[in-house]
Amino acid sequence: MSDILLVDDEKSVRLTLALFLKKKGYRVDEASNGEEAIEMVKEHFYDLVITDLKMKPVDGMEVLQKIKSINPMIEVIVMTAYG
pLDDT-based confidence at residue 81 (cuts at 50, 70, 90): confident
Cis peptide upstream of residue 72 (ω within 30 degrees of 0) = no
Calculated CA dihedral for residues 43, 11, 2, 50, nearest 10 degrees: -80
| pLDDT tens per residue across span 16-55 | 999 999 999 999 999 999 999 999 999 999 999 999 999 9
Distance between CA atoms of residues 35 and 29, nearest Å: 14
pTM of the model: 0.92
